[in-house]
Amino acid sequence: MAAILLLGGCSGPSGEPNAEAAENSSSSPSSSESTSPTESATPSATPTPTAAYKPATAEGPAENVPLPVMPELAKEESKEGLVAFGDYWFSLINYGYETGDPTPVKEISAPECSICQSFYEDLEEGYVNEDWIQGGKLNVLSSGTEFVKTPEGRYQLLLSVIQEAGANRGPNGKVYGQGPGDEASTAQIMEATYDSGRWVVNLVENM
């Protein structure tokens, strides 16, 4: 949204004045050209700090968190596609921790995914009123699959995951709980089905 507003703000002021400056450059180059850059620079500089990403701190939640974009490879029904999709799913989990928004994960996760339900509850509790979550990022160190369907028609992806330290925070320095982060990686298994041209997560759990 910030990018759209930025482009809209620039195209309006810089479009017509710059065109006029180009037309008038032969008659009054110094006055027209010196004014136009100043006018176009002012609106473009204003929205930039607003759109800058800021991670969560002890003072406040993350700001302007970019929504991860699904890579084209993650849309394929292939071994490489499943691996890419697994990485993408965990990036949406991290997005949820930073924003409190579970919608992107819900869109690619089945209702029977129990760890997904726990994740939704964590966000609901972590972002009640003016509270927020700091940290807790999950990093996928490695993943792999034999790409063979289970009797339920699912593909399995094995992952090595490690979680960073995190905290549930509130205004005025409140700390509701803290986690030190993992000292070693955890082996996890993801089961996903491919239906109607897309992957859906059915299960994620520790091995």
pTM for the model stands at 0.76
pLDDT tens, residue by residue, 50-86: 589 999 999 999 999 999 999 999 999 999 999 999 9
Distance CA 178, CA 113 (A): 25
Residue 158 dihedral angles phi and psi, to the nearest 5°: -95, 135
Give domain limits for the chain.
Answer: 2-51, 72-206
* Rounded Cα gap, residues 163 and 30, in angstroms: 59
Give the pLDDT score at 103.
Answer: 98
Mean of pLDDT over the chain = 82
Q: pLDDT of 6-40, one tens digit each?
A: 222 232 333 333 333 333 333 333 333 333 333 43
Residue that has been written with the tokens 């499943």 in this structure: 82
Distance CA 16, CA 39 (A): 11
Q: Output the pLDDT for position 49.
A: 52
Q: What is the pLDDT of residues 133-174, one digit of tens each?
A: 999 999 999 999 999 999 999 999 999 999 999 999 999 999
Percent of the chain with pLDDT over 70: 76
Residue type, 31: S
Q: What is the CATH number of domain 72-206?
A: 3.10.450.240
Q: Which two tokens stand for residue 135?
A: 């940290």
Give the up-direction half-sphere exposure of residue 167: CA atoms within 13 A in the CB hemisphere: 16
